[in-house]
Amino acid sequence: MKRILIVDDNSTIADLAELILQAAGHSCTKVNDGKRCLEVIRESYKDNSNYDLVLLDIAMPQFSGLDVIKAMRAEGYLNHNKVVFFTASSATNLDMEEFRKLGAVDCMRKPFSKADLLGFVGKHLSG
């Protein structure tokens, strides 16, 4: 069973992702803001229970996904957690290059179908 952290300020999207991924046999933790995400990652690091994948919304108020990944990088957590961005906007190739420089491994567009989410997550959990 893989551990996945879902971070999205839209609770409907976070709930849907959690439902789909748990039904597929994954263990999910869901948070709705960037600061709480960072707290959860710090706690998991202390417990030596890092996440196999972090699905991180880019556009969140007060502390965005970009803020989160920059803090994770500065604190050394990217070495222990694979981060993929969730975005409702269309990410260009240039955006993806910038996201990778920050430490994200990929970017998934919202809205998503069940098949899209499972395929995307499966690709990143198998690698």
* Residue 101 pLDDT class (50, 70, 90 cuts): very high
**Any idea which residue has 């990778």 for tokens?**
100
* Residue 53 pLDDT class (50, 70, 90 cuts): very high
91: tokens are 């990410």
**CATH class (in words) of the domain with range 3-126:** alpha beta
Mean pLDDT across 92-119: 90
Residues of the chain with pLDDT > 70: what percent?
99
Q: Where are the domains of the chain?
A: 3-126
CB atoms within 10 A of CB 77: 22
Spatial CA neighbour of 73 closest among 63, 83, 64: 83
